[in-house]
Amino acid sequence: MTNATKDLIRRILPRANRHYRILSGQVAGQVIYTSPRDYPGAILGTTERPLLEWFSRNVSPGETWIDAGAHFGYTALALCRLVGPQGRVVAFEPVLGTAGCIARTRERNQLRQLRIVPMGLSASPTLQTRLFPSVRGMADSTIGHTAWEEPVSLIAFDTLWSLLCDGNPAVHGIKIDVQGMEIEVLSGMQDVLKAQRPKLIVEFHTGVDRGKALELLASCGYSEPGTAIDTELQGTSSYQDDYSYAFLKPQTV
């Protein structure tokens, strides 16, 4: 299905947010607060299937995972199920309305292991506010000027984590899907990456300099090339737009 067809279908779907039970996939039966227009794939359970399958093989009970760019919390739901009540999932979502939807999802599913941070991540050690084009509940730096731009608060993960970790700084994994902000987000978490080498999932987007991103990762100890999450791309040498890649500790690759 082309993007134009998807957009056409979205226009006739209901816009209002409410609770929906997810119909299929690895988080089937859980409830997500969203709208059919903004996130139909989450309600159907058809989106992010390769990523959720990767999570099922690589996330363990009791771990701490960071979800940078949580959107409506679909991947956070999957992570919460896998880390269990003794684990932690920290979801960063800079669009305030969308972060509020995750809060409703958290309450409805009784996910005490989920913490929602209504901020975005960047390279800046000090708090900044920037305007981003907003589409379907997410801030997206890869698209041009739109009729609506969302003011979002941004700060480096390394600055914020000591304030959020409740005395337990361990991070076992990080998922990054930040619509063109990949290099800034990675730059702002170098201390944690170097010290702990968590499992890392990065979705690359249009305009992001892959060479610069890989150099940054190598400087943090991730010297091996990333592995495509989607099986159809495994074995290819280039990093495609809108696909996720796993970067693991050298001894686990």
What are 77-90's pLDDT values in tens digits? 999 999 999 999 99
Q: What is the mean pLDDT of residues 152-156?
A: 97
Indicate if the alpha-carbon torsion angle 160, 163, 164, 168 is positive or negative: positive
Report the candidate in 39, 14, 163 with the shortest Cα–Cα distance to residue 97: 39
Question: Which are the contacts of 1, defined by CB distance < 8 A and separation ≥ 6?
Answer: none
CB 186 within 8 A of CB 156: no
Cα dihedral 173/176/181/182 (nearest 10): 60
Residue 164: band (very low, low, confident or very high) from pLDDT cuts 50, 70, 90: very high
Q: What integer best gives the mean pLDDT of the chain?
A: 92
pTM of the model: 0.93
State in words which class domain 48-252 has: alpha beta
d(CA 151, CA 129): 6
Residue 129 CA: distances (Å) to CA of 32, 39, 150, 154, 188 = 28, 26, 10, 6, 16
Residue boundaries of the structural domains of the chain: 48-252
d(CA 154, CA 152): 6
Q: Which residue has the higher pLDDT, 5 or 44?
A: 44
Residue 6: band (very low, low, confident or very high) from pLDDT cuts 50, 70, 90: low
CB 203 within 8 A of CB 242: yes
pLDDT of residue 10: 66
Residue 28: half-sphere exposure toward Cβ, Cα within 13 Å? 7
Cα dihedral 46/240/147/124 (nearest 10): 110
Is 144's pLDDT higher than 80? Answer: no
SS3 of 93, please?
A: coil
